[in-house]
Amino acid sequence: MNNKKKSRIILKILNKTYPKVPIPLKYKNTFTLLISVLLSAQCTDVNVNNVTKNIYPRYNKPKHFVNLGRKKIERLIKRIGIFRVKAKSIFYLSKTLVEKYNGKVPRTYEELEQLPGVGHKTASVVMSQGFGFPAFPVDTHIHRLAQRWGLTNGKNVVQTEKDLKEIFPKKYWNKLHLQIIWYGREYCKARDCFGITCKICKSCYPNRIKPIKTKKA
């Protein structure tokens, strides 16, 4: 089965399963979306939401975090993994936004990726969910599923993103990356489906018997 046929099957299953797809991270504005995505590295969305629900009602602008300073930011996010590194990024990111962008989050990949602690995946999420720009953020989970579904043989998320963008029409990207995340959490789990039990895996690979091994990004 070629990728064109697989993409049609995948879109049909995902649109039926998630006609409306919720955004996993809770945020108040584009700036807090940026902060939440940064915090979510090596951390679950649930944990990020539990921490930020007590932060964003009071602190939701770059100037707020600049005024707090690194140590106070650390105390606010200490329940999140590698919180000291993330607190440093949040402080300097906020300082850059205040000094260079008048407190506004920039609307280009180039400017976003120059901010402290912001990589391509974080920038892609902000461009997609914050500004509605067609983007296909790929994290390690989407990378795993794309391999399992035979959509890429890329060894990293950069190659996987390129391959997925070639397979799926641009108009689906923003919704699709969220649908894949939810589907992976609920139906095609790393230690449950193994590429042989969920509806997408069975539809794309009806004759697959052995569990599929995926390479980490």
> Catalytic site residues?
121, 139
DSSP secondary structure of 171-209 = GGHHHHHHHHHHHHHHTS-TTTTTTSSSHHHHHH-TT--
Tell me what pLDDT residue 184 has. 95
* Domain 30-130 belongs in CATH node 1.10.340.30: yes
For the chain, the average pLDDT equals: 94
State the pLDDT confidence band at 169, using cuts at 50, 70 and 90.
very high
- Whether the predicted pLDDT of 201 surpasses 90: yes
Residues 187-209: what's their mean pLDDT? 93
Return the amino acid letter for 214: T
The tens digit of pLDDT for each residue in 81-97 reads 899 999 999 999 999 99
In the predicted structure, residue 172 carries a pLDDT above the cut 90: yes
Among residues of the chain, what percentage have pLDDT more than 70?
100
Kindly list the domain boundaries of the chain, sorted by start residue: 3-21+136-204, 30-130
Q: What is the per-residue pLDDT across 96-106, written as a single tens digit (0 to 9) for each?
A: 999 999 999 99
Predicted local distance difference test score (pLDDT) of residue 99: 97
What is the Cα–Cα distance from 165 to 182, expressed in whole angstroms? 19
Query: Is the CATH code 1.10.1670.10 the one for domain 3-21+136-204?
Result: yes
Query: Using CA atoms, how far apart are residues 176 and 10, in angstroms rounded to an integer?
Result: 10
Confidence of residue 213 (pLDDT cuts 50, 70, 90): confident
The reported pLDDT for the residue numbered 176 is 97
Which one, of 131, 151, 116, lies nearest residue 38 by Cα? 116
Six-digit token pair at 67?
């005024």
- Quote the tokens at residue 157: 């998320």
Across the range 101-125, mean pLDDT stands at 96
What does pTM read for this prediction?
Answer: 0.90
Band of residue 155 on the pLDDT scale cut at 50, 70, 90: confident
Per-residue pLDDT of 3-57, as tens digits, reads: 889 999 999 999 999 999 989 999 999 999 999 999 998 899 999 999 999 999 9
pLDDT for residue 216 is more than 80:
no
Question: 22-35: per-residue pLDDT in tens?
Answer: 899 999 999 999 99
